[in-house]
Amino acid sequence: MLLGVHCANLSWPGGPEALGKTLAGVARAADEGGFTTLTMMDHYFQMEHLGGPAEPRLEGYTSLGFLAGQTTRIELGLLVTGVTYRHPGLLAKIVATLDVLSGGRAMFGIGAAWYEREHLGLGVPFPPTAERFERLEETLQIVRRAWNGGGSYDGTHFHLEELTLVPQPLRPGGPRVMVGDTGERKTLRLVAQYADACNLFLAPPDEIRHKLDVLRRHCDDVGRDYDEIAKTVVGTLNRPLDDVDGWLSSMQSYADLGITQVWVGPDGDDPVGWTEQMAEKVVPRLAGIGT
């Protein structure tokens, strides 16, 4: 099983003056310590359960561009960007740029968006749920076309006359596409039809098994090979370093379901030290799970 580090809570020691140095330290420790992916959240405001708008929240793709220059191996992405945040043609260009400048290390994570407060706060349109999912599907179609030679696109919500991106991403076909969230009727159908990976919120194994069964049925419906799609989870039901053996045992139960990657977030008191400890105590042993 692969390990990703997800930087969701940025209320780290030292305040804004130290944030760049600390984030770079986490990225370098993960890059050198065998983590496979580093992700940021893509929100304008910090989420309510992490303190809300009063707490720090960095712009996602600016942060990833900074981290591309701090690392050499680790995959970089947002977990996940909201479809409402950027026009899809511009988004395809941004992700292609990240892929080129990082040497082919970009990941494209996307979802339907949900945090209405940040949209209202910064004056960004927040369409109804059904329309956001329509826009999500069109965006998935647009980025795939953009990263495979371009052309034009004429959809319900988006009209692009000249979908030209130069340079193209370094990865053939573009960065791997991950669709986040666990909605059974819409989200997992979009995973089956367009994505290279799904990302589920960590839940008890029976709940994850059910979600994957739904995904399998969607794959059957659209003629997609279920095994082509990487199954990943974000979050943890306990703190890995508090009980490494117990945490690894719990990860085995998810690997048995077909989960191949898990994301966990740095400890807020010492995020760099936490990442170094995870690299030493967890990454080598986790790599043997699911193989």
Beta partners for residue 108, in sequence order? 177
Q: Given this model, what pLDDT does residue 182 score?
A: 79
pLDDT band at residue 251 using 50, 70 and 90 as cut-offs: very high
**Is the pLDDT assigned to residue 181 strictly greater than 90?**
no
Of the candidates 240, 238, 220, which has an alpha carbon nearest to the alpha carbon of residue 228? 220
pLDDT more than 70, % of the chain: 99
pLDDT digit string (tens) for 9-21?
999 999 999 999 9
Of the candidates 143, 218, 215, 139, which has an alpha carbon nearest to the alpha carbon of residue 182? 215
Average pLDDT, the chain: 95
Q: Given this model, what pLDDT does residue 186 score?
A: 93
CA dist., res. 250 & res. 288, Å (int) = 14
CA dist., res. 191 & res. 254, Å (int) = 19
pLDDT digit string (tens) for 24-80?
999 999 999 999 999 999 999 999 988 999 999 999 999 999 999 999 999 999 999
> What number is the average pLDDT over the span 78-94?
96
Of the candidates 19, 36, 85, which has an alpha carbon nearest to the alpha carbon of residue 197? 36
The encoded tokens of residue 109 equal 């994570």
The helix/strand/coil state of 139 is helix
pLDDT digit string (tens) for 125-171?
999 999 999 999 999 999 999 999 888 999 999 999 999 999 999 99
The encoded tokens of residue 44 equal 């304008």
**Is the pLDDT assigned to residue 290 strictly greater than 80?**
no
Report yes or no on whether pTM surpasses 0.75.
yes
pLDDT digit string (tens) for 193-250?
999 999 999 899 999 999 999 999 999 999 999 999 999 999 875 689 999 999 999 9
